[in-house]
Amino acid sequence: MDAVFGRVRDAVNHLGHVHDAYVQQNRVLQNMPNEKQLIEIRSMSEQKIRELLEAQLIKIHQNEREIEGLWKENHDLKKQLSYAESHVVRLQIEAVDKAATAINEMLSTFDKREVSLTTGLCDLKQKYALLSAQNDSLQLQLTEANEKLEKMTVVTFIKSLSIPIYLSSVEEIRELNKARDLLRFECDSLQNCKQHMEKNLCDTKNYVIDLESELKLVKEQLRIARQECSTRENDISKLRDDLEREKEDSRQRMVQFEKKVTKESDDYRAKTEGKFIAFKEEEDRKYACALRDIKMKLQTSDRQRIEAELKLAEVEKQRRDAEAKVIHYENNFDHIRGQVEGQAIRHMVGGCMNALASFPSARKIEIGTRYIL
């Protein structure tokens, strides 16, 4: 793990160093024309150019990742905008539909209530007319009965002297009185019923008036609600137009942004490719020079190798000759030793004789030496 983290730390430090070098070099190169930039790039070391090119490639990779991230973010924003538009439009349409449904239900309820109240009012008017006719008829009958009773009373009073004769008339008068009382009772009942019906009719008229006022209020509210619905529909239409316009503006902005990013990417890529081509040409030139130098060195090395091989062959020959001499010496060691020792003695004697020749008694010594030899 320490080795892994060490490599990661070294890579991060290397990237930081490359980024700092790129920022510094880019700051220097931005204020220069292209010719001076090429001269400056050619004067850089190979390691520095590699670091600059590596930083350029890292920058291009980062820009491509940023562009990809912007594409993804734009796609997500388009999805969110489409979902929000559909959600808002759906909610507004649902709200308007619910309001229209509620208003239609309310209008239907009020229409049914109005029809039922109108029918009930017509029924009450018919009953009132029928009761009024019955009341008038009973009132007429009561008036006739009263007139008839008064006539019978006068006749009874005139003929009161002859009571036995007119007992049947008295009975008739009693019956008439009973009928009159019954008619009066019915008339009172009808009067009470008429008053009750008039009261109900008045209450119904008041209720109808209240309902008409409520209906007017509801119609006014309905008119206001319809105006609000129309206003909301206009607002929804305006909102849709605004959304479409905003969508179109967003699309135009996105197209412009894409064109701008594409242009900047193309310019940056062209600029980087130009620098890379110049750098590659310079590297190719350097590589050709280095290759030419290497070829010359290889040729020199081949000559040196051939000379070394010749020297090695000569040394090998000398070694073989030396080995042959050694073998010869080893095989004829005793004979060669005797020859060498004899030659050495002769050289020694010759030297001694030459030395003794310079003395007076040299001849004796020479003769003695001869004898010795």
Ramachandran category for residue 168: left, alpha or beta (phi over 0 → left; psi -120 to 50 → alpha)? alpha
Q: Which tens digit of pLDDT belongs to each residue from 264-278? A: 777 777 777 777 777
Q: Give whichever of 161-165, 206-210, 265-269, 306-310 has the largest mean pLDDT.
A: 306-310
Share of the chain above pLDDT 90, in %: 0
Can you tell me the distance from the alpha carbon of 169 to that of 1, in angstroms, rounded to the nearest whole number?
A: 144
Confidence of residue 165 (pLDDT cuts 50, 70, 90): very low
Half-sphere exposure of 17 (CA within 13 A, CB side): 10
Q: Say if pTM beats, i.e. exceeds, 0.85.
A: no
**Model confidence at 18: pLDDT above 60:** no
Residue 199 to residue 197: CA distance in whole angstroms: 5
Give me the domains of the chain, ranges plus CATH numbers. Answer: 32-301 (1.10.287), 341-373 (no CATH)
Q: Name the CA dihedral angle for 13, 14, 20, 26, rounded to a multiple of 10 degrees.
A: -160
> First-to-last CA distance in the chain?
95
- Which runs of consecutive H residues, i.e. helices, occur in the chain? 2-30, 34-43, 46-158, 167-331, 333-356, 362-372
